[in-house]
Every structure is written in structure tokens, then in C-alpha cells.
Amino acid sequence: MSAYGSIARLEPQPDVVGASELLERARRAGADWRRLSVAARVAVLRRFRHRLAADSLQLACRIRCRPVADTLTGELLPLLEACRFVEKRAESLLRPVRCRYRAGIWLRGTTVRVSREPYGTVLIVGPSNYGLMLPGIQALQALAAGNAVIVKPAPGTREALDELRKLLEVSGLPEGLLTISDESVATAEALIDGPIDKLVFTGSSAAGRSVLERAAANLVPATLELSGWDACIVLDSADIERAARAIAFALSFNSGRTCLAPRRILVSRCRYRSLIDRLTALLDRIGPVAFDPAGARAAGKSIAAAIEGGARLVSGALQPDGVTGPAVLVGVDRDQAIFNTEVFGPVAIVMAFDDPARAVATANATPYRLGATLFGSPQQTRALVPDLDAGVVMVNDAIVPAAHPALPIAARGASGHGATRGAEGLLEFTRPKAVASSTARRPLHLEPPLPQAEPVLAAYIEAAYGKNWVKRTRAAWRALVALTRGPTREKR
């Protein structure tokens, strides 16, 4: 099973109890919450952040899938930073805005004001690789925007998320506004089929298609953050030591289960051997990194097929029940299945290139568009960024820069759509409402029509929207002549 939170690949459980009750409770709690000012909602989050900072060690100890230190750095730190970002930016981002654009004379007296309103009830389906941080950030943003939230946790993450809920309620969040459901597939399906107003799903591309199809039946808008099989381009100007350390970190941190980690490593041919040598030395020093059993079997099949096609392992080893990692493959061809197939875990393939433009084309040659990483000089990396087809591009580092609270994860292609985190992620939990008001005493369109309306309107259009001032001036003169020489306006 993929480490992503997937409702499509889990074995169903019979417990669907409470799905309708959860939805009804969220609807009732959300009615009052959305009427509060943004400042009042943010005040709750601020108190929550203080409590979470004080209790971070106890909460991290409830996540038993990794060392506590890794949980503190990989989940609690990004969650706390994202909470503080919401506190500082939510009011300005959600404030109603009056449009300052000056429209044409035919819209004189019309003012436009756009406000952001919450959807209502938001369902968040979380993953297992970062089962606290990812749904936690999404829940905080949804709450700040005025929504009620139901989180469907991935297996093994419910206890930590429930502690998060308790901290929020102690901080002043009304009971029922944030609910953590059980972990079963049946409950997830019942919630998606219920009267939710917005869905956020983090998981595999296969599961994302299934979830989106289900949500589409009720026309529920969905934000999807799905699979990554990210490219990493190491240019001839790169610091090889830095690049090797960053890639080794990405392959080992959180057991290599990070969707934004570099997987397809494309190295300038003149630096290829030095990178391989340094990377394998670092990985040997780190030692074995464990897969989950299902992930090891899936990765083992993909790697075995690649080896049959001519690739070879320079790190890691095939085992009867899968593979040990980090597993690094060289000699992979673009036509081999592993090049286009996401392997979720500590696996990477390394390929050489001669031309940076060709490397970008190779990086873009998969359906996954989540992220990309570049190593090289500022001049070289800036030149390549516009051509990389990815939602997130990290330069001279891996994984950690993506934890910046202002950075939106905006997936593309088979990696999903919509945005999570950052300002864009906060706005994703709102929908715009536009109010157009007219203060004109005598709107032109309500006046009796002119007999010579056609030449006057045609001349006005060119005068208002024409190519240059000469053409516009001549058109304005024609409009004036047609207006003055034509029949007089009828009186009411």
C-alpha cells in the first residue's frame, strides 16, 4: 500500500457509524463560527500555537512510526510555523477588497467589492507519511477562513490528530467545529457522499482519481495533492558536496517518504561520476532505511524490472521480499517503466545529460508535476526555472525549503490540482463574492435609445479601446459629430 492517505487501497471496515452525525454537527457549529471576525478566529489559533509549543514533545511521542526528533522537525516545526503565518496574514488576505480599476464611461458610477466567504463544511482526507502536519495545516487554514472541518485520518494517525483537536478546543475552538473521524474507508466514502462543501485530499494519483470521481457526483470542489516523482537537475556549476548531501537527506528523512523528494536525478555528464561516488558514500554512512512492507514489495518489482532492462543498483539491494534502501539505480533508460512510475520510498534513479535544455525536457517527461529541484549557480538555475513544468521548484536544497509557510503546494498533471498551504492555500478554503453597486443618477443604458445609436456606439468603441491616440481621437470626433448631427433624444 502506498504511504499516502488512500481510501481506494485500504481494506474497508464495517464502522460507518457517525458519518451523518459528524456532518450535521459540523454544519451547526460552522453557522456561528463563520460569523466571527477573522481576528477572533485567529486569536483561537494563537492560543493553540502557544499550547502546542508547550506540549510538542508529548504530542510527538504519540506518533510512533519514526524517531521523536524526526517528528518534531518534520511535523511539529512546519505546523507551528504555518500556524503563525496564518495568524499574521489571514486578516489581510481575507479582508474585502474594493476594485480600484476605472472602467469605461458606460460603467460610470459602478463600484465593485469582492469579499471572501468560507465554503461551509470542509472534509480533509489526510496521508500517513506526514499524518499530523499536512492535515493539521490544512485544518488550521480552513478554520481561519471560517469553515467547519472534518478530518479523515490515515491509519495510525488518529491519536495525534485527536490530541490536536483537544488542544484547539482548550484554546477556545467551539466543540464540533473540528472533528476527527475514524480511519475506515467506509466512513471516508460516506463523508464524501454526504453534504460537504469542499474536499481536500492528499494521496496517490490512483486514489485521487477515485476520490475526485466520487466528489464529482455531487459537484463538490476538490483540491488534490497527489503523487510526486520529482526530478532533480545537477548542473555543471553545482556544488557537488551540497547536492549529494541534500539528495542523501531526502532519501533518508522520514524513511524517504516525502512526495517532494528528488527521485529522478539528472546530472551534468562532467559531474556524474563525482556525484555518484559522493552520494553512495553518504548513503553507506547513513545505513539501511526501512520501507513499509507493501512499499518494499512494489519497489522491489519496479527495480527488478529496471535491472532486467540494463540498470544496476549502486546503493541498496534487492531482497526476496522487496528491497532495502536507500536504493539508487543507474543506467536507467527513459523508455523503462520505472522512469515514469512513482516508487514511494527511498528510491532514486541517476542519469547523465549533456545539454541543460535536454535535462529540462527529460525532467518534464512524466505525468507527475508536483515539484523539481535544481543545483547550480544562480545564473544557470534562473535560466531553467521558467521551463520546468512543476508546481514547486527548490534551488540548492531539498525538501526543507518546501516547509516555508508562505510556499503554496500547487500540483499539476497527475500530481493533482489546486493549492495547499501559503496564502493561496488559505484562499482555497474560501470562495469569492462580488458585489457591484451603482451610484449613477442616470445610467446610460436606462435612457431611451438614440436613433443614431449604431454609428455613435461604433465610434465610441474605437475611441475607448482603439490602437493608439490618433485613432482614438478621430473616433471620438466621429462619435461627437454623429451625436450632434443626428436626431435629438426623445423626451420622456
Residue 370 lies in a domain: yes
Residue 273 pLDDT greater than 90, yes or no: yes
Phi–psi pair at 4, nearest 5 degrees: -70, 155
pLDDT at 487: 57
Residue 412 pLDDT greater than 60, yes or no: yes
Residue 109 lies in a domain: no
* Residue 396: strand, helix, or coil: coil
- Count of structural domains, the chain: 3
Phi–psi pair at 111, nearest 5 degrees: -115, 145
Domain endpoint, select from 179, 206, 226: 226
Q: How far apart are CA 263 and CA 338, in angstroms?
A: 11
User: Do 202 and 249 lie in a common domain?
Assistant: no
Residue 327's CATH number: 3.40.309.10
User: Do 288 and 393 lie in a common domain?
Assistant: yes
Band the pLDDT of 77: cuts 50, 70, 90. very high
User: Do 243 and 308 lie in a common domain?
Assistant: yes
4 CB-near residues (< 8 Å, 6+ apart)? 127, 128, 129, 154, 202, 203, 204, 207, 226, 227, 259, 344
Band the pLDDT of 242: cuts 50, 70, 90. very high
User: Do 236 and 336 lie in a common domain?
Assistant: yes
Give the mean model confidence (pLDDT) for residues 77-89. 97
Domain endpoint, select from 226, 241, 272: 226
Domain endpoint, select from 160, 191, 226: 226
Compute the half-sphere exposure of residue 34: CA atoms within 13 Å on the CB side of its CA.
19
User: Do 23 and 145 lie in a common domain?
Assistant: yes
Q: In the block, which residue shows the cell 512526495?
A: 259
User: Do 249 and 220 lie in a common domain?
Assistant: no
- Provide the domain limits for residue 24: 19-94+121-226
User: Do 157 and 292 lie in a common domain?
Assistant: no
Nearest to 29 by CA among 21, 37, 40: 21
Q: How far apart are CA 299 and CA 99, in angstroms?
A: 53
User: Do 214 and 282 lie in a common domain?
Assistant: no
Residue 3 lies in a domain: no
Nearest to 483 by CA among 463, 458, 455: 455
Residue 176's CATH number: 3.40.605.10
Give the residue with greater pLDDT, 298 vs 121.
121
User: Do 139 and 151 lie in a common domain?
Assistant: yes
Average per-residue pLDDT for the chain: 91
Residue 3 pLDDT greater than 50, yes or no: no
Give the mean model confidence (pLDDT) for residues 44-50. 98
User: Do 167 and 269 lie in a common domain?
Assistant: no
**DSSP string for 175-223:** TTSEEE--S-HHHHHHHHHSS-SEEEEES-HHHHHHHHHHHHTTT--EE
User: Do 150 and 180 lie in a common domain?
Assistant: yes
User: Do 245 and 306 lie in a common domain?
Assistant: yes
Residue 418 lies in a domain: no
Residue 358 lies in a domain: yes
pLDDT at 134: 97
Residue 341 lies in a domain: yes
Beta strands in 340-458 (DSSP E): 347-353, 371-375, 392-395, 409-410, 416-417, 419-420, 430-438
Residue 436 lies in a domain: no
Residue 413 lies in a domain: no
pLDDT at 18: 73
